[in-house]
Amino acid sequence: MLKDTVHYSVAESEPVRLVQVTDPHLFADPEGQLLGVNTTQSFQAVLNTFSATQYPADILLATGDISQDYSPESYQHFVDKIEALDLPCHYLPGNHDDPRLMAVRMQGDHVFGQQIIDIGPWLILMLDSTVRGKPGGYLGEKQFELIDAAVKAYPDKHVLLVMHHNPILMQCAWLDQHCMANGEDFLARTSRYPQVKGVLWGHVHQQVDKLHPGPHGDIPLMATPSTCIQFKPLSSYFALDTVQPGYRLLELSGDGSIRTNVYRVPGNRFSPDNEASGY
């Protein structure tokens, strides 16, 4: 049995149901804004949109950039809002997070930082792609060792790899300088495992649904809108999109396939400052 593993059981006839939220960029001050969007309100609106569906998720994944100001209070606000959902939440760090502060402040009855989640016929690996003090990412050898050890310990499980940074380029030059620097190597190495059935990330503040052609078949590559501001796809310079914040649902089946969709807050409440040139 591996250390640092959380176990969940699900009914055999049911898929594993996940909800992902990412990049809330919360502030200590609940009035704090990122480029004209109140990130506390937009995060709450995303959670409300999800809650209203009464979707029976098993767990929630939060894929980094929880804080925008590195404050203990921003993490506490996250925990308080998540606790109200009454759903286990597993998180990993983004480039805007302070992992040590997270470990101390991201605690609650439903909030966990363990990296290995054993749930029904699936294994979800919460990887750390951050590089201290840098906006870009890199997957270090320790993380590859964790993948290897987990797959060896649970050879019969399907594996979903989750992290903050994008292993593929977004064709946005300004954003691609902050990608996972060894993303190509990451996909080549991990797709050799027949168990790896999906890769999921945040960071790019936009939806991605693509397939990576691996030696054992196509692997879904998925990224999810931020719960606050959205980056404009395919823009070489910094530009924001007017589409609303959102979240992703995933259904992981016993046969290793994934059904997934992105959902957004209805209406037009969260419009960013169009003149913004960065943050």
Ligand X SMILES: Nc1ncnc2c1ncn2[C@@H]1O[C@@H]2COP(=O)(O)O[C@H]2[C@H]1O
Q: Which residues bind Fe ion (CB under 5 A)?
A: 23, 65
Instruction: Note whether 136 binds ligand X by CB under 6 A.
Output: no
Tokens of 32: 């704090």
| 277 counts as binding ligand X under rule CB under 6 A | yes
The span from the CA of 117 to the CA of 61, in Å, is: 11
Query: Measured between alpha carbons, how far is residue 51 from residues 55, 85, 107, 113, 258 in Å?
Result: 7, 8, 22, 23, 22
- By beta-carbon distance, which residue lies closest to ligand X? 278
Distance from the Cα of residue 243 to its chain's centroid? 19
Task: Determine if 72 is a binding residue for ligand X (CB under 6 A).
Answer: no
> Of these, 203, 230, 246, 262, which contacts ligand X (CB under 6 A)?
203
Q: Which two three-digit tokens encode residue 176?
A: 């691609």
According to the binding rule CB under 6 A, does residue 178 interact with ligand X? yes
- Closest to ligand X by CB, 58 vs 65, is 65
Whether 21 and 47 have beta carbons less than 8 Å apart is answered as yes
Distance CA 58, CA 141 (A): 30
Q: Segment 23-42, which members bind ligand X (CB under 6 A)?
A: 23
Binding-site residues sit at 23, 25, 65, 95-96, 164, 203, 205
User: For binding to ligand X (CB under 6 A), which residues are involved?
Assistant: 23, 65, 95-96, 135, 174-175, 178, 203, 238, 277-279
Residues making up the annotated binding site for AMP are 25, 65, 95-96, 205
